[in-house]
């Protein structure tokens, strides 16, 4: 008989995944995002640029820690303002 995987926090696995994706840090400048990633111990791997779409992939010093994907998007600069501009989002995978 199969049983569902239980998370110690009492949430289902899908809910934990969705929560982790929604809490990805956002930055208004590329320099701040790169400084944050370097402080976490990630090293530059590859940069992709196609028209407005810009993205950068970083790998961790230790391979088991995974990779980080830094991408740009045109979005609101902060949740309380109507100003729009380039926002850099970090996702771990």
Give the domain extent around 37: 25-92
Instruction: State mean pLDDT over 44-61.
Output: 91
Domain-embedded: residue 7? no
**Is 88 inside any structural domain?**
yes
Domain-embedded: residue 43 = yes
Residue 10 in domain: no
Residues 3-40: pLDDT tens digits?
666 655 666 666 666 665 556 788 999 999 999 999 98
Res 20: pLDDT = 57
Block residue for tokens 């609101």: 76
Q: Which two tokens stand for residue 28?
A: 């208004």
- Which residue has 């992709």 as its token pair? 48
User: So what's the pLDDT on residue 45?
Assistant: 93
Phi, psi of 88 (to 5 degrees): -100, 125
Residue 77 domain-assigned (yes or no): yes
**Total count of domains within the chain:** 1
Q: What is the pTM of this model?
A: 0.69
Q: Does some domain include residue 16?
A: no
- Whether residue 68 lies inside any domain: the answer is yes
- 39-43, 45-49, 80-84: which has the minimum mean pLDDT? 80-84
Residue 62 placed within a domain = yes
């Amino acid at each position: 008989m199969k049983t569902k995987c239980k998370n110690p926090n009492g949430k289902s696995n899908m809910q934990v995944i969705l929560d982790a994706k929604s809490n990805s840090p956002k930055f208004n400048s590329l320099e701040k995002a790169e400084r944050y990633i370097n402080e976490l111990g990630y090293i530059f791997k590859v940069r992709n640029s196609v028209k407005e779409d810009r993205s950068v992939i970083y790998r961790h010093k230790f391979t088991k820690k995974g990779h980080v994907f830094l991408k740009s998007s045109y979005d609101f600069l902060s949740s309380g303002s109507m100003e729009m501009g380039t926002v850099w989002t970090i996702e771990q995978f």
